[in-house]
DNA sequence: TTGTAAGCGTTATCAG
DNA sequence: CTGATAACGCTTACAA
C-alpha cells in the first residue's frame, strides 16, 4: 500500500481542525500499516531499540510525526506493568515549598514522558503506609517522590524498598542510599547562619527550634550550635525553645524569650513562619527589629521577602532538589539505578541577608 | 473448582505481610474464580450494575474484600477509554491558591476513585491549546479543571467543548454553562469592600487594579466602583493605577499614589501581594498604616495574616470552589451533566477585617 | 533486522 | 440475571 505524503502546509487549515486531529489519536496499528512494517517494529522504534534498520526507523518516525501519534500509556502500562506516572507524597503545610517541588519535578517529567500525580497524606496517621500503598497500587505508579517530613519515616521507606517500588526521599540528612535520596545540607546552612550572627557581634543568641521529632529540626539546631561553638559561643539552655513551625508558636516562643529582664540580641528561628511570628511579637512589645533585635529564619519563602523588615534567611534551591529527585527516580525506574546513585545527592542552601539582622 | 474461604484473621499476621499482600494486587479473574462466578459478573458488581442477584453480589463483594481487590485503572481505561485521571491546568503565581485547590479537588477525587495530574502551563503561550491537548491525550485524562487566569481563555474552552472533553473553569464571572463553571463573586466582594471603606468615612480612595486583560481584575474594579457610587463616592481617574499583581508593582503603584501633595486616605489593591507592596512603600515613606492610610487586599493568602499590620482583605473559599469543581466534572464524566448543572456554581467571598484599615 | 502470536486486566456484545 | 468471547493498544517471548 502506498500513500502520498501530506505536504507540511498545515498552517493553511483552520486551527480547530489541527486540534481535533490531535485529539482523536491514532494507534500503533495505523502507524504500522502506513509505514508498511509490523507492530513490533513500530514498538521497537518507540522504545528506542537498537535492533532497527536505519531506513526503517526513519520511515516509521516519519509516519509517527505525520500522524501525530503518541502511544497510549494505558495500553503500555497494561502490557508492561508501567504507568509512566510518578507520585508525590507529602504532608506539608508550606504551599510555596510544594509548588516549587512540583515545578521542578514536572520540568524533568515532561521531558521524559512522565506525569505527576499528587497525594497529600497525614504524617501522623496510623495507616500512612497502607494509604500510600493504596495510592501507589491504585494508579500503578512507577515510583514516588517523598517530601519532608514524611520522607523521614523509615518504615515507609523500608516498605517501599521491600516492595521494590522506586522512590526518592527529599531530606535534610542522608537517610538512605544515594539513589534514594536528595538532601539539603541544613546543618551546614545553620552553621553558616551561626557564623554570620557571630561576626555581627552577637553573643546573646536564642534559638527557636522546630519539633524535635523532625530530623530537619535537629539538624538545624545542631548545625547552629556547632557553628556558634567555633566562635566560643554557647546557647543558654533557657534560650532554646521549641515551636511547631507555625506563625502562632513563633509568636509564643518570642514572647517567652523577650519577656525576661535580660533579652537575647538575636533570634534564629527554625523557619520563616516562626521568624515572622518573632517579628510580630517584637513589634507588639515595642522592640525594634533590627535595631534592638536581629531575627533570621529558614526557607526563604514568599513571606521572607515581603514582610517588614524583610527577613534574613536561608534559601534552599527546592526546585533543583526536585529536579534531581525526578532525574534519579526515572533513572531507577528505567533500570539505571547505578547511574542514579551518581547524580548529585546533596544541595547546599545559601544565606540570604536582608533587613532583619544588624551588627551590634 | 471449590475454595475454602480464608477466615478473616489477618490481624494475626505480621504487619509487613499485609502490606505486601496489598501490593501484589489480585485480578478480576481471581475474584471470579474464588466467588465461583464469571468475570463479567464481577465486573457488574464493581460497576454497580443493577442486573446482579442480591446473593451473588454479596458473595462477590465478600471475596473482593477478602482479596483486597481493586480494579486496575489501566485495564479499565484501555477497555472503556477512561483513565480515572483528572487534570489540573494552571499558570498561577500564587502557590497558596494552588495548594488550596489541590486539596479541595483531592478530597472529592479520593472519595470517587480519581487521581489528580497537575499541569502548569503558560497563559501567554501561542501553543497553549495544543499543549493542553497534548497533555490531555497523552494521559487520556477524563477531564480537566482550569484555574484562572487560564480559565478565562474562551478559545481553550471552546476547543475542549468541541472535542467533547469534560472541563470545569474556575472564574470570577460566569463565562460558560453552569456545569462548566464555578465562579467566585469577586464583583460583590469588591462592592462589600467599598461599602466598608465608605462606612469608615473614607472619601479619598485609590485603587490599584490588576491587569485589565483579566476578567477578575475588571470585575473587582467595577464592583468596587459600583459599591462606592452607592455612597456617592467616585474614584479619581488618576487614583486608579494598574499593577501586575506582583509585590513589586504594588510598591511602584503605591509610590506613585503617595507621592503627590494630596494623598488618598485609603487604598484597595487587587490582591494581597500588591497590598503588601503598598505597606512596604508606605513604611518607606514614613506613612503609618492604618493611622494615616488604610490598606486592603484581596485573597486572604498566607501573607495577609502574617504581615504587620495584618491585612484587611477578602477571603475566597478556594477549597470549597475546588470541591464543587471536582464534583461537577466527575458528574459530567459519568454522564450526569444535567445534575452537574445544578450543583452550586457561585461562591460568595467574605470580608475579613484586620489591622490595616481604620475609620477616619 | 523483522514478524507472529500470546497475553496484560478490564469492559462490551450478544446470547442464553 | 449470567456467561462466553471479542475487543482495547501495547509489549514481549519466540521465531524466522
**To probe the interface with A, which of B13, B23, B355 has the most A CB atoms within 10 Å?**
B23
Q: Map B295-333 to HEC letters.
A: EECCECCHHHHHCCCCCEEEECCHHHHHHHHHHHHHHHH
For residue range A275-298, what is the model confidence (pLDDT) as tens digits?
A: 999 999 999 999 999 999 999 999
Return the closest-CA partner of residue A296 out of A183, A220, A214, A211.
A220
Residue B270's pLDDT band, with cuts at 50, 70 and 90, is very high
Angle formed by the axes of helices A39-46 and A54-67, to 10°? 90
Cβ contact, residue pair A163, B19, below 8 Å: yes
> pTM score > 0.75 for this model?
yes
Residue B19's pLDDT band, with cuts at 50, 70 and 90, is very low
CA of B78 to C1' of C9 (A): 9
Adjacent-strand bridge partners of B269:
B208
How far away is chain B from the Cα of A283, in angstroms, using its nearest Cα? 8
How far away is chain B from the Cα of A229, in angstroms, using its nearest Cα? 33
Residue of chain B minimizing CA distance to A96: B95
Q: Give every CB contact of residue A280 below 8 A, 6+ residues apart in sequence.
A: A247, A250, A251, A254, B306, B308
Give the number of A-B residue pairs with CB atoms closer than 8 Å: 144
Tell me: pLDDT of B53 over 90: no
Within 7 A of a protein CB, which nucleotides of strand C?
A: 1-5, 7-13
Question: What are the strands of the beta sheet with B294-296, ordered from one edge?
Answer: B240-242, B205-209, B266-269, B294-296
Return the closest-CA partner of residue A316 out of A101, A88, A109, A86.
A101
Tell me: pLDDT of B200 over 80: yes
Adjacent-strand bridge partners of B143:
B86
CA of B278 to C1' of D8 (A): 58
Tell me: pLDDT of A21 over 80: no
Q: By the 8 A CB rule, do B57 and A171 touch? A: no
What count of residues does chain B have?
360
For residue range B203-212, what is the model confidence (pLDDT) as tens digits?
A: 999 999 999 9
CA of B151 to C1' of D7 (A): 37
Angle formed by the axes of helices B128-138 and A15-23, to 10°? 10
Q: What integer is the mean pLDDT of A184-211?
A: 97
CA of A125 to C1' of D5 (A): 46
Return the closest-CA partner of residue B156 out of B132, B121, B184, B124.
B132
Residue of chain B minimizing CA distance to A16: B159
Nearest nucleotide (CA of A27 to C1'): D9
For residue range B115-169, what is the model confidence (pLDDT) as tens digits?
A: 999 998 999 999 999 899 888 887 889 999 999 999 999 999 999 999 889 999 9
CA of B233 to C1' of C3 (A): 81
What helix, strand, coil percent values describe chain A, rounded to 5? 50, 15, 35
**To probe the interface with A, which of B16, B26, B71, B72 has the most A CB atoms within 10 Å?**
B72
A chain contacts of residue B140, beta-carbon cutoff 8 Å: 72-74
Element (H, E) at B181: strand B181-184
Q: What integer is the mean pLDDT of B300-327?
A: 94
Nearest to A306 among B78, B95, B276 (CB): B276
B chain contacts of residue A72, beta-carbon cutoff 8 Å: 78, 140
Alpha-carbon span B29 to A296, nearest angstrom: 60
Element (H, E) at B351: strand B350-352
Q: By the 8 A CB rule, do B262 and B238 touch? A: no
Q: What integer is the mean pLDDT of A129-142?
A: 88
pLDDT of residue A110: 85
Q: By the 8 A CB rule, do B194 and B223 touch? A: yes
**To probe the interface with A, which of B139, B247, B248, B272 has the most A CB atoms within 10 Å?**
B139
Amino acid at each position: 500500500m502506498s500513500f502520498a505524503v501530506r505536504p507540511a502546509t498545515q498552517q493553511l487549515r483552520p486551527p480547530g481542525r489541527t486540534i481535533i486531529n490531535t485529539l482523536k489519536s491514532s494507534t500503533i496499528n495505523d502507524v504500522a500499516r502506513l509505514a508498511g512494517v509490523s507492530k513490533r517494529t513500530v514498538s521497537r522504534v518507540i522504545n528506542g531499540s537498537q535492533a532497527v534498520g536505519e531506513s526503517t526507523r526513519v520511515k516509521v518516525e516519519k509516519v509517527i510525526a505525520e500522524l501525530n501519534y503518541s502511544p497510549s500509556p494505558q495500553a503500555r502500562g497494561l502490557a508492561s506493568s508501567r504507568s509512566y506516572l510518578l507520585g508525590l507524597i507529602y504532608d506539608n503545610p508550606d504551599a510555596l515549598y510544594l509548588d516549587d517541588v512540583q515545578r521542578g519535578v514536572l520540568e524533568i517529567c515532561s521531558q521524559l514522558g512522565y506525569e505527576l500525580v499528587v497525594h497529600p497524606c497525614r504524617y501522623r496517621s496510623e495507616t500512612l503506609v497502607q494509604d500510600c500503598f493504596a495510592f501507589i497500587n491504585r494508579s500503578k505508579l512507577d515510583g514516588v517522590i517523598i517530601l519532608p517530613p514524611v520522607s523521614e519515616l523509615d518504615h515507609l521507606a523500608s516498605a517501599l524498598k521491600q516492595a521494590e517500588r522506586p522512590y526518592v526521599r527529599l531530606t535534610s540528612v542522608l537517610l538512605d542510599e544515594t539513589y534514594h535520596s536528595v538532601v539539603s545540607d541544613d546543618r551546614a546552612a545553620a552553621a553558616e547562619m551561626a557564623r554570620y550572627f557571630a561576626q555581627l557581634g552577637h553573643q546573646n543568641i536564642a534559638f527557636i527550634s522546630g519539633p524535635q521529632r523532625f530530623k530537619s529540626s535537629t539538624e538545624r539546631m545542631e548545625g547552629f550550635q556547632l557553628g556558634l561553638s567555633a566562635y566560643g559561643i554557647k546557647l543558654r539552655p533557657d534560650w532554646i525553645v521549641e515551636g511547631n513551625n507555625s506563625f502562632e508558636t513563633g509568636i509564643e516562643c518570642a514572647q517567652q524569650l523577650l519577656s525576661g529582664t535580660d533579652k537575647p540580641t538575636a533570634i534564629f528561628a527554625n523557619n520563616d513562619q516562626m521568624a515572622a511570628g518573632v517579628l510580630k511579637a517584637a513589634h507588639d512589645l515595642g522592640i525594634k527589629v533590627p535595631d534592638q533585635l536581629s531575627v533570621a529564619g529558614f526557607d526563604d519563602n514568599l513571606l521572607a521577602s515581603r514582610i517588614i523588615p524583610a527577613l534574613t534567611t536561608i534559601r534552599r534551591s527546592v526546585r533543583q532538589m526536585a529536579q534531581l529527585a525526578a532525574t534519579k527516580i526515572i533513572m531507577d525506574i528505567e533500570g539505571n539505578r547505578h547511574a542514579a546513585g551518581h547524580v548529585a545527592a546533596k544541595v547546599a542552601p545559601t544565606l540570604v541577608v536582608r533587613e532583619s539582622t544588624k551588627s551590634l
